[in-house]
Structure 1
Amino acid sequence: MSSAFPAAPAAAPRRAHWIVSLALAALGGLALDAATPSLAWWPMALVGAPLVLAAVWQQRAGLGALSGAVAGAAFWMPQISWLTLYLGPIPWLALCGVMIAWFALFGLAAALATRGLARLRLSPQAVVAVQSFAVAGLWVLREQLQSTWPYGGFAWGRLAHTQAEGPLAPLVSWVGFSGLSGLLALAGAVLGAVLVAAWFGTGIAAVPDAADAQDVQGSKLRSRRLRLLAVVVGASLALGMLALVPPAHVERAGTLRVAAVQGNAKSAIFDDRENGDVFRDHVEATATLLDRLEAEGETVDAIVWPENSAEFALPDQPYRELALRELSERADAPIVVGTVLRDPDDTFTNSTLVYDEAGGTGVRYDKRRPVPFAEYMPNREFFRALVPDLVDLVRLDYRAGTRSAVLEIDGAGGSFAAGIAICFDIIFDDHAVALMGRGPTGGGVESQVIFAQTNNADFGRTDESAQQLAIARLRAVETGRALVNISTVGTSAIVLPDGADVDRLTPFTRDAMVAEVPLSTGETPALRYGPVVAAAWMLLGAAGVIAGVIVGAIRGPIDGSVFRRRNAAQRETD
């Protein structure tokens, strides 16, 4: 039979032995981690996803959940190990525990879906197609749920993120982050199904007759594995064709010559510094930049500083405001700065302000996504009872911003609209919608360029800043906007709408980058239809697990040994 999935009557769905399943899950999780910075071996995502899915493919529910948990642990524990740098193991273990639980639920749902759908009265190829779409949908559903709950979620470690520096990155401008994750998971599901079929049986049913028994035991087993190779080659060719898709086109509306300043400031929570040191570092770095520009006879339209670069309560610091006015007058350009503000109602915001030679312009953005357990403490009394020393490190409770995420700035070369993302704002899909002027804090004006201000000092020289830049890079492609990712210490880069770096700074150096970037207008298909694509994948996943459970209940429990005895009896009769 030419198919990689030999036809057979419904019987006990084949699956990996439990030891093999756990090993596949662990290897798959580690491969997914290797696909992200700092290694950033993007092809490993095309290895890791199939291994994880082969581990849970047609498994019993309990082993599916356990395999999912193992895959989650193998991925998340190294992926976010940067949390341990200053805060120790407790926050790391807590966040890992939540993310591993989501992976375990995914493994449970994927096992139920694939095991139940394996017993549909369809051709083997059709069954695998149905299973694969269901599992891909469940993968996207897991990513969406972890990005929402608890405490606003953690939209990190998504399958799409592995492709930030790979040839499939342009697809994100057409289908969005969830769409790209779904396509990668779909390819992984097909390969995982074929892997199970080639190494652990037919992947669909028990062997029905003597000929198939010889197939499993002899030369046709090799033939089936050759067909596995053919499917792998076919899937690789399909992905190769997708890699030829260019980024979605958006209109250009001129250019912006922008500078971004990395002060290399001691801005981490436990850094030994005096009040004003972080601000002073950025003032001095900006002055050095202006010296260079003046020597070269160059100018800029705007200057961007990182998150928290102006420290606390900038409008209440006349000497700091004076320094910014002098720098702006010298540059003949506005300066976009980060500061912490205290409002009249005694609430705090992590904010962005714009200064020019006259002082504060009144243009302001407040971070929409304060980070729980870092910028505010949810359920403070409860967690203080558990870890009082850690909880009391979070002294301020920042509120979520409600202002427009798009600032209209009068630059040296004319006005432009800058979408602002402070730190983890950039990782959330709804913020990309806000940057286009839509949603609760969109403001009705779409951005032409994105300024992503961040302070990564709390994570030292770990992978965190590189992982965040990878997400920001994909966000530039998704939106069709140039993006300035500027950090207090790095990793800082100016990214073009196609995802390419036009300038980049060495982490932990005081420096500045300057580039001329396009101003863009209009929405990519990803922003226009991305929520619909995400919803479609999630509906496929939910429908798949529901159908799998229903089919399994209707067909009743299956004991593979019964079918083997029936097959043996049939062979004796023949």
Structure 2
Amino acid sequence: MVAPPVAPDTSAADTPPTRRRDVRGTLLRIVLAAAGGGLVFLSFPPRTLWWLAPIGFAVLGVLLHGRKMRAGFGLGLVWGLGFMVPLLRWTGEFVGLIAWLPLALVCALFIGLGAAFMARVSTLPGAPLWMALLWVADEHLRSVFPFGGFPWGKIAFGQPEGWYLPLAALGGAPLIGFAVALTGFGLAHLGRDWKLGAPLVVLPLALGLAATPLVGTAPDQGTVVVAAIQGNVPRAGLDFNSQRRAVLDNHVKRTIELAEAVKAGRERQPDVVIWPENSSDIDPFRNVDAAAQIDRAARAIKAPIAVGAVVVDKSDNLPRNTVVLWDPERGPVDTYTKRQLQPFGETMPYREFFRIFSKTVDRAGVFQPGSDPEGFTMGPAKVAIDTCYEVAFDGVVRDSITAGANLIAIPTNNATFGFTEMTYQQLAMSRVRAVEHGKAVVVAATSGVSAIVAPDGSVTRRTGLFTPDALVAELPLRGEATLATRLGAWPEWVMTALGLLAVAFGLTVKRRGSRPTPGAGVGEEETDGGPAGAA
């Protein structure tokens, strides 16, 4: 008889030192993942360290290479927490952890899901390209789901100072995110394949520099003198609007002061005046006194004012976040109602369910969304109105541009977030939108930061926080559409589809590689990538 084969002794593999090394290795990877996400956070405004973002992606690329999808999800989740927890701290400034940490966790879970798929394609030929495409897909998913999406944290919004910014004119925010991720994943690939990694690092930067001349600034439809009014609020926090009359009075006062400066020759006469979101939380259609105050300001400045107001609609007696166009001679002549409402703020999805966890959900509003993207004709300008939260959504801003606008106004209210970084993050979005659509942008905030942004994304004037101010500037009116405006969402859809196709191919390769080979020995091992050694 032939003796049966003796199984090899593998007990040494389970010795305590080996297990300790495994634990230390796992802990090291977790720390590196959190640090990589932290680097991306540090690349965001108010800091100007835009170059840290590719390094953060390089860390993620190194960690994901050859990992199983489950490990990729875990590492991506930690990386996402390192990025999103500090980035979104402003959401809990006055309501605590109940808003901040769950939101950061949800965003990180989406990143973890994307990282799982990135791990799957990390060993395919051209892996950095597929991984960068999957990042675009991941951002797209976060922008539409759940509750209408939450695009805050798009990589493009951390790049208003960087070499990648001009790419916005070609393919919008998704193209910037793709270029940054591709650079980082290319850096991670340098040690494995210099011939592939080096071009993937250099190409996105070169494209950004080459696109710079494509960002037009010429006033092909003339110019307009714009004033952004920052009246300030009585105090920061959720209850700032408990003194709604004081907020309105502040904006009236600062506008009249500007009118006096114009009369004295210290400032130019504006053609257009932009007040912030919530500058009149008293409905001027129902309150005669509020209407009289706004009318007083408009007559003093001798220009139409876009007034951010809370208006209660007669049809259902429910509030709308509305911008009212107030003419100095005719009074209110047009309105724009905010289309993209902020969940858990202006609206409350599943209110009864979330009340189980916190009664603060009852502070969320019952605002109703608008549907018309068309803004206002104000003097020589056709002004797109994108109120506060709307500036984060690619499609919302583009719809207001394709309605015929040659200037963008962003009325916003940041008083509810105090001195946090939120206002700087939002200003960065406005700068990206300026380049994306080749239009000057006027940001008017109740408490700051208000700013004037040129079509090339540069900030020409800005205010401080919680100080009354008025910014006056002559801006170009541009009707020319950028390639990004004309293409719309197509670049994002194409990149998302290519990334998903790469995942499908990677999963197909895995299934084929995991099938037993006829006649193969039963002792052969398999890895996540197929037969032994394939990964």
TM-score (norm 1): 0.82
Q: Secondary structure at the match of 1:42?
A: coil
Which of residues 122, 130, 133 in structure 2 aligns to 1:134?
A: 130
Q: CA separation in 1, counterparts of 2:134 and 2:346? A: 31
User: Compared with structure 1, are the counterparts of its residues 428 and 272 closer, same or farther at alpha carbon in structure 2 (3 Å cutoff)?
Assistant: closer
Aligned-partner residue type, residue 400 of structure 2: L
Alignment of 1:538-553 (within 5 A): 538-553=496-511
**Percent identity between the two aligned chains:** 31
Q: Cα distance 1:360–1:403, how it changes in 2: closer, same or farther (>3 A)?
A: farther
Offset at 1:235? 2.4
Q: Quick one: which of 346, 361, 365 aligns to 2:332?
A: 361
Q: Please, which of 127, 138, 141 is the counterpart of residue 145 of structure 1?
A: 141
SS in 2 for 1:147: helix
> 1:56 maps to which residue?
64
Change (3 A) 1:100 1:241: closer
Q: Which residue of 2 aligns with 1:25?
A: 33
In the alignment, what sits opposite 2:12? none
1:479 partnered with 2:448: no
Counterpart Cα distance in 2 of 1:146 and 1:275: 34
- Separation in 1 of the partners of 2:342 and 2:357? 20
Amino acid at match of 1:536: V
1:554 corresponding residue in structure 2? 512
Query: Which stretches in structure 2 are left out of the alignment for 5+ residues?
Result: 1-23, 515-524
Q: Which moved more, 1:66-75 or 1:399-408?
A: 399-408
Query: What residue number does 2:220 align with?
Result: 252
Distance 1:273 1:154 in 2: 28
Q: 1:361 to 1:94 in 2, by over 3 A?
A: same
Amino acid corresponding to residue 157 of structure 2 in structure 1? H
**Quick one: which amino acid aligns to residue 298 of structure 2?**
S
Matching residue of 2:274? 304
What's 2:354 paired with? 383
Alignment of structure 1 residues 90-129 onto 2, 5 Å: 90-115=98-123, 117=124, 127=125, 129=126
Name which of structure 1's ranges 61-70 and 292-301 shifts more when overlaid on structure 2.
292-301
How far has the Cα of 1:270 moved from its partner? 2.4
**Partner amino acid, structure 1, of 2:233:** A
The aligned residue for residue 374 of structure 2 is 405
Question: Using the alignment, how far apart are the partners of 1:272 and 1:312 within structure 2?
Answer: 10
Q: Which moved more, 1:497-506 or 1:143-152?
A: 497-506
1:425 matched to 2:390? The reply is: yes
1:458 maps onto 2:430 in alignment: no
* CA drift at 1:237: 7.1
Instruction: String of CA shifts for 1:220-254, please: whole Å, max 9, x gaps.
Output: xxxxxxx59x9559824761463242243376200
Letter in 1 for 2:459: D
In structure 2, the residue matched to 1:265 is 233
Aligned match of 1:206: none
- Asked if the contact 1:340/1:348 (under 8 Å) is kept, the reply is yes
8 Å contact kept, 2:327–2:333: no
CA deviations on 1:311-346 (whole Å, 9 max, x unpaired) are 131212222222222222222211111001111112
SS in 2 for 1:485: strand
Task: State the Cα distance separating 1:563 from its structure 2 match.
Answer: 5.9
Structure 2 residue matching 1:308: 3-state secondary structure: coil
Secondary structure at the counterpart of residue 259 of structure 1: strand
Q: How far has the Cα of 1:22 moved from its partner?
A: 2.4
Which of these residues, 179, 196, 218, is aligned with residue 183 of structure 1?
A: 179
* More RCO (CA 8 Å, sep 6+): 1
Look up the match of 1:122: none
- Out of 322, 330, 351, the position equivalent to 1:351 is 322
CA distance in 1, matches of 2:333, 2:100: 39
Note if contact 2:256-2:301 (Cα within 8 Å) is conserved in structure 1: no
Matched residues in 2 for 1:386 and 1:518: separation? 50
Q: How far 1:60 sits from its partner (Å)?
A: 1.2
Q: 2:312 aligns with which of 323, 342, 353?
A: 342
Is 1:333–2:329 an aligned residue pair? no
For residues 390-428 of structure 1, give each alpha carbon's deviation from its aligned partner in whole angstroms, at most 9, with x where no partner exists: 11212x31111112332223x2xxx42100011110110
Secondary structure (helix, strand or coil) at the match of 2:51 reads: helix
Instruction: Report Cα offsets for 1:128-187 as digits up to 9, x if no partner.
Output: x2x222111110011010010110011111111221111221110111111121122122
Matched residues in 1 for 2:208 and 2:328: separation? 49
SS at match of 1:253: coil
* Residue of structure 1 in register with 2:75 after alignment: 67
Kindly provide the amino acid, as one letter, of the partner of residue 309 in structure 1. Answer: S
Q: Identify which of 401, 424, 428 aligns with 1:436.
A: 401
Closer, same or farther: CA 17–274 of 1 in aligned 2, 3 Å: closer
Alignment of 1:139-288 (within 5 A): 139-195=135-191, 197=192, 235-236=201-202, 239-240=205-206, 242-246=208-212, 247-249=214-216, 252-266=220-234, 268-271=237-240, 273-288=242-257
Shift of 1:526: 0.7
Please give the per-residue CA displacement for 1:358-387, whole angstroms capped at 9, x wherever unaligned. Answer: 343331100011101100111111111221
Q: Distance in 1 between matches of 2:75 and 2:385?
A: 40
The secondary structure found in structure 1 opposite 2:478 is: strand
Q: Are the equivalent residues in 1 in contact too, given 2:233–2:240 (CA < 8 A)?
A: no
Are the equivalent residues in 2 in contact too, given 1:262–1:305 (CA < 8 A)? yes
Equivalence for 1:416: 381
- The answer as to whether partners of 2:441 and 2:453 remain within 8 angstroms in 1 is yes
Residue pairs, 1:500-515, within 5 angstroms: 500-515=458-473
Q: Is the 8 A contact 2:440 2:453 kept in 1?
A: yes
Residue 371 of structure 1 is matched in structure 2 by 342
The TM-score, its normalising length taken from structure 2, stands at 0.88
Contact kept in structure 2, 1:21 and 1:54, CA below 8 Å: no
Structure 1, 350-359 or 323-332: larger mean CA deviation: 323-332
1:290 aligns with 2:255: no
- Residue 31 (structure 1) shift: 0.5
Counterpart check, 1:520 vs 2:478: yes
Measured after TM superposition, the shift of residue 458 of structure 1 is: 0.8
Letter in 2 for 1:239: L
> Whole-Å Cα distance in 2 between the matches of residues 543 and 231 of structure 1?
22
CA distance in 2 between counterparts of 1:384 and 1:278 reads 30
Q: Write the distance in 1 (CA, Å) between the matches of 2:99 and 2:204.
A: 41
Secondary structure at the counterpart of residue 386 of structure 1? coil
Deviation per CA, 1:469-500: give whole Å up to 9, x if none: 00111001101110001100111100010011
Give yes or no for contact 1:324–1:356 (8 Å, CA) kept in 2: no
Listed one character per residue, the Cα deviations across residues 267-292 of structure 1 (whole Å, up to 9, x for unaligned) are 64223853401000111111111122
2:230 counterpart letter in structure 1? Q
